[in-house]
Amino acid sequence: MIGLRLPPTKLSFSGAVGAERLLLLGVRLMPRRPNRALARDLETDRLRLRSIGPLRLLWQIAPWHRDPELMEALRGHRGPMPLIKWLSSGGRPNNIHRFCYAIVPKGQSKPVGVIYMNLSWTDSSAATHMAISDPAWRGHQVSVEARSALLTLFFDNGVTVFTAEPRARNLGSIFVYKKLGFRVVGAVRFDPEEAEPDRIRFVMTREAWRERQARIAGTAPSQPAGPDR
């Protein structure tokens, strides 16, 4: 079923499925070293992307539970969210399958957001999520710039396709994926009882990304400086 040869046995069909699941679980649980090629700092024109671990991530995102705009965009939760619920609602970076980067504008020390990159267990596909916590930096192409740098890094290190499924009303996130050239491949029905689908599914392949980057190389206008301080 997955191209691996199981040892010859006389297992029943359900037994064979169970054996396959145990095998996949074993592969998933095998100790793996951190991926240093991906868990590293990057720089763009205006930003520093700093690879961070779980404790620093928790420290940075803890105050976000009070921001109703962030809670609506990230969790579909109206209004502020209880702190414990917020901190327990997301994955933690392990620098093996889940990576997290603090977004720090050059010339500043305080991050203005974080970006997550999650690899599938085969390391060939990935997904990305991010949030800009500082409202002064929203609408200044920070998401596009940060994601663009990380997409290039991940595509250059084995990932062949990125997927994304933002909520249909997360319009800022949808804009970023469209701006980056992600292709809409469908709408995802989150709740079968709902009349309208709740998410939009995007895809970007490594080939499409590299073609896009080659096309815009040398012709992109300079990035806006950022919010007036």
Partner 1 sequence: MTADPAELVARALDIQGSVSLEDDMSSLPAWTSLTHVRLILEIEAALGRTLTAEEIGSIDSVRAVAAVLAVAGVAT
What whole-number distance in Å separates Cα of residue 121 and Cα of residue 37? 17
Q: Which residues in the 153-172 window bind partner 1 by CB under 8 A?
A: 168-169, 171-172
What is the smallest separation between the CB atom of 66 and partner 1, expressed in angstroms? 21
Q: Which residues in the 120-139 window bind partner 1 by CB under 8 A?
A: 138-139
- In the chain, what is the greatest distance between 2 CA atoms, to the nearest angstrom? 71
Q: Measured between alpha carbons, how far apart are the two ends of the chain, in Å?
A: 58
DSSP-derived secondary structure letter, 66: G
Instruction: Provide long-range contacts, Cβ within 8 A and 24+ apart, for 173-180.
Output: 173/73, 173/143, 174/200, 176/143, 176/144, 176/147, 177/202, 179/144, 180/144, 180/147, 180/148, 180/151, 180/204
User: For partner 1, which is the closer residue by CB, 65 or 199?
Assistant: 199
Q: Candidates 61, 117, 131, 176: give the one binding partner 1 (CB under 8 A).
A: 176
User: For partner 1, which is the closer residue by CB, 2 or 193?
Assistant: 193
95 binds partner 1 (CB under 8 A): no
Partnered with residue 199 across adjacent β-strands are 167, 188
DSSP-derived secondary structure letter, 98: E
User: For partner 1, which is the closer residue by CB, 39 or 174?
Assistant: 174
46 binds partner 1 (CB under 8 A): no
What is the smallest separation between the CB atom of 119 and partner 1, expressed in angstroms? 25
DSSP-derived secondary structure letter, 64: G
Q: Which residues in the 189-218 window bind partner 1 by CB under 8 A?
A: 196-200
Number of residues that bind partner 1 (CB under 8 A): 23
16 binds partner 1 (CB under 8 A): no
Q: Which residues bind partner 1 (CB under 8 A)?
A: 138-141, 143, 168-169, 171-172, 174-176, 178-179, 184, 187, 196-200, 221, 224
